[in-house]
Amino acid sequence: MAVTNNEIAVIFNRIGDILEIQGENPFRVRAYRNAARMVQGLSSSLAEMVEQGESLEALPTIGKDLAAKIREIVTTGSLRKLRQLETSVSPGVVDLLKVPGLGPKRLKLLRDYLNIHDVNELENAARQGLVRQLPGFGQKTEQNILRELQDLQHRVRRFLWAEVEDIAEQLVTYLRKQPGVKKVEMAGSYRRRRETVGDLDILVSAAKDSKVMDAFTAFEAVERVISKGHTRSTVVLRTGLQVDLRVVPQVSFGAAWHYFTGSKAHNIAVRVMGVQRGLKVNEYGIFDKRGKRIAGRTEKEIYDQMELQWMEPELREQRGELEAAAAGRLPKLVVGSDLRGDLHCHTTRSDGQNSMEAMANAAKTLGHDYLAITEHSLHLRVARGLAADDLLAHCEAIDRLNGKRKGIRLLKGVEVDILEDGSLDMPDHVLQRLDICLGAIHFAFGLSEQKQTERVIRAMDNPNVNILAHPTARLIGKRSACRLDMEQVMDAALERGCYLELNSQPQRLDLNDVYCRMAKERGLKVVISTDAHSTGQLGYLRYGVAQARRGWLEKGDVLNTRGLTSLLKMLQR
Ligand code: DGT
Ligand code: CA
Ligand code: CA
């Protein structure tokens, strides 16, 4: 990843802080602070300017010395000067300076009055209520400090896409209602439907006298305001989710929407295409040699200038989408309404929350033609897995329900545990009676790549197995993917007439986007299923569809876009 302007600004600010603590000449201190502010407000990326050999000295507040420092940061990722300075003050002070809201002046007070020299001492003092007694601190500052200390420990937290869906929609609806607001759109990783998001990016165009920024910072779920300006504000919600809002003129809306949707790598590639055409591309538009804006109102205008088809945000990851667009070969991505049914769910018979009848009704309401009932096998005791006899009895119940019910077909299935040696946790004579069999790993996640790969391939050797459910068994943010040679697994599935699942549970989304694409390239069909444990979760297909789209999947690449007859045929091995 290229160094961001923000990272450069942080380095300059830190130098300013240390120089001030050391009692350096105030002019030098201010030079760094001014440069940091300028860098932060800059619309073009310094890293890109350096890469393209553009002059930095032409920028305000940047002389020869600072220009050289920027080049050093961009090319090496850090700055020797800062490292030297950091060794000249105590390590505790370096950490304290990283706490937002703590500058040299406050550090001096903390040191002089409370003898605080590091983060631990600061936390203890704040917990004891000592910090609030210092001149200019107060109770609120003390609380903020404690929160910042916590945040510093959890800085890496990203949110599942599905976790932020509701608040994102609420925010957009709320902003659209504000007087003078013309347009509100989500951008960033949220719009690209990444499985996790670092923060939300919202774009607004509004009349000059609109009070949209006031409305934004007053939004009910906002916990604190990090910055507030006319064109950009940043807030943190009570959940810890950060939200950036930018107000852009309508003539630039498409350019800004494209820029802030990203990904960064995609943006840079488009910008380079512009350079090759003698055009300047930024978040304000596309400009010709004379500086005249020739595109910017819509995203289509941006792509038109590059002689490219407009493309779906899910594709914009600089993974060949620009080449595909240039060749007119962008995929026609699968959409939710292409899916005809769901091949993985649980009822109260194992660890689901709703009866089979309720699940069938809910699936029918969603317009599904079929729903596979796939309870766990016995090995998974925590999930009240079924023994052979119980599963057979359950199948009879499914038959009875199918006899009574019109408009949806329930398939008799199982999610059978793949044991450590690759054998299955259910006798073959039972599996033979089913319409569909999912094999899944629920334990022994840590096997070597070779052992794990052999394990799942051996499971697929069993001719009753149709689908490998949540193939890598990862839980985003909680458990890493099993080590598997995925190319081997996919080739083995293809040879045996098996399929791989894309599990739509927000924490699984397993297969991921890269593996979906790998399957597509091999001609291996993917099954998008919910693994629903309640009627509400049957709606999770949309998360799986989003991941599939990020993996370039089209309708034909997805098994359960087939109607019932064709599906049953394809499940025959
Ligand atoms: P996230 O928030 O980590 O899940 O990922 P994004 O993609 O939402 O990234 P974010 O919020 O940092 O920035 C939003 C978009 O703004 C990003 O997708 C592309 C654009 N952008 C940000 N920084 C740069 C940059 O330095 N250069 C270029 N060309 N675009 C950038
Ligand atoms: Ca973002
Ligand atoms: Ca952002």
Are 176 and 123 in a shared domain? Answer: no
Angle, CA 388 vertex, CA 385 and CA 389 arms, to 5°:
110
Distance of alpha carbon 369 from alpha carbon 32, whole angstroms:
65
Would residue 495 count as lying in a domain? Answer: yes
Q: Which of 498, 502, 529 has its CA nearest to residue 516?
A: 502
The last residue of one of the domains, among 154, 187, 213, is 154
In terms of residue numbers, what domain contains 82? 5-154
Separation of CA 199 and ligand 3 centre (Å): 5
45 lines ligand 1 (CB under 6 A): yes
Are 450 and 524 in a shared domain? Answer: yes
Would residue 257 count as lying in a domain? Answer: no
Report which ligand 1 atom has the smallest distance to the Cα of 271.
29
**How many Cα atoms within 13 Å fall on the side-chain side of residue 10?**
13
264 lines ligand 1 (CB under 6 A): yes
* 288 residue type, one letter: D
Domain of residue 83, CATH code: 1.10.150.110
Distance of alpha carbon 550 from alpha carbon 512, whole angstroms:
9
Q: According to the model, what pLDDT value does residue 494 have?
A: 98
Separation of CA 234 and ligand 3 centre (Å): 9
Are 313 and 429 in a shared domain? Answer: no
C-beta neighbour count of 82 within 10 angstroms: 18
4 lines ligand 1 (CB under 6 A): yes
Are 150 and 168 in a shared domain? Answer: no
Are 360 and 397 in a shared domain? Answer: yes
Looking at the 3D structure of the chain, how many domains does it have?
4
268 lines ligand 1 (CB under 6 A): yes
Considering only CA atoms, which residue is closest to atom 9 of ligand 1? 188
Are 296 and 148 in a shared domain? Answer: no
543 lines ligand 1 (CB under 6 A): no
263 lines ligand 1 (CB under 6 A): yes
C-beta neighbour count of 39 within 10 angstroms: 24
Q: Which of 430, 435, 540 has its CA nearest to residue 160?
A: 540
CA distances from residue 321 to 41, 266, 318, 512, 553 in whole angstroms, order as listed: 30, 9, 6, 18, 13
Are 316 and 355 in a shared domain? Answer: no
Are 521 and 432 in a shared domain? Answer: yes
Backbone angles phi, psi at 306, to 5 degrees: -95, 5
Separation of CA 7 and ligand 2 centre (Å): 16
573 residues of the chain, pLDDT tens digit each? 467 787 898 899 999 999 998 888 999 999 999 999 888 777 788 998 998 888 999 888 899 999 999 999 998 888 999 988 988 888 788 888 878 788 888 999 999 999 998 888 999 999 999 999 999 899 989 998 998 888 776 555 689 999 999 999 999 999 999 999 999 999 999 999 999 999 999 999 999 999 999 999 999 999 899 999 999 999 998 878 999 999 999 999 999 999 999 999 999 999 999 999 999 999 999 999 999 999 999 999 999 999 999 999 999 999 999 999 999 999 999 999 999 999 999 999 998 999 999 999 999 999 999 999 999 998 887 778 899 999 999 999 999 999 988 899 999 999 999 999 999 999 999 999 999 999 999 999 989 999 999 999 999 999 999 999 999 999 887 788 999 999 999 999 999 999 999 999 999 999 999 999 999 999 999 999 999 999 999 999 999 999 999 999 999 999 999 999 999 999 999
Would residue 253 count as lying in a domain? Answer: no
Report which ligand 1 atom has the smallest distance to the Cα of 5.
26
Residues in the chain: 573
232 lines ligand 1 (CB under 6 A): no
Would residue 264 count as lying in a domain? Answer: no
Distance of alpha carbon 548 from alpha carbon 274, whole angstroms:
30
Are 403 and 542 in a shared domain? Answer: yes
Which residue from 189, 299, 317 has its CB within 8 A of the most atoms of ligand 1, so it is best to mutate? 189
Report which ligand 1 atom has the smallest distance to the Cα of 189.
8
Locate all alpha helices (DSSP H) within 98-191, ordered by sequence. 104-114, 119-127, 138-153, 161-176, 188-191
Contacts of 533 (CB under 8 A, 6+ apart): 345, 346, 351, 352, 353
Contacts of 44 (CB under 8 A, 6+ apart): 282
The last residue of one of the domains, among 128, 154, 180, is 154
Domain of residue 290, CATH code: 3.30.210.10
Are 293 and 431 in a shared domain? Answer: no
Distance of alpha carbon 372 from alpha carbon 248, whole angstroms:
48
Considering only CA atoms, which residue is closest to atom 23 of ligand 1? 264
Angle, CA 11 vertex, CA 147 and CA 18 arms, to 5°:
80
Would residue 217 count as lying in a domain? Answer: yes
Q: According to the model, what pLDDT value does residue 10 have?
A: 85
Report which ligand 1 atom has the smallest distance to the Cα of 259.
20
- Output the six-digit token pair for 515: 């593996």
Domain of residue 452, CATH code: 3.20.20.140
234 lines ligand 1 (CB under 6 A): no
Residue pair 532/342 in contact (Cβ under 8 Å)? The answer is yes
Would residue 142 count as lying in a domain? Answer: yes
Residue pair 214/245 in contact (Cβ under 8 Å)? The answer is no
Would residue 168 count as lying in a domain? Answer: yes
Q: According to the model, what pLDDT value does residue 1 have?
A: 47
Would residue 265 count as lying in a domain? Answer: no
Are 116 and 205 in a shared domain? Answer: no
Domain of residue 164, CATH code: 3.30.460.10
Which residue from 6, 157, 200, 201 has its CB within 8 A of the most atoms of ligand 1, so it is best to mutate? 201
Separation of CA 47 and ligand 3 centre (Å): 18
Are 400 and 472 in a shared domain? Answer: yes
- Output the six-digit token pair for 467: 């689908």
Considering only CA atoms, which residue is closest to atom 20 of ligand 1? 260
The last residue of one of the domains, among 105, 128, 154, is 154
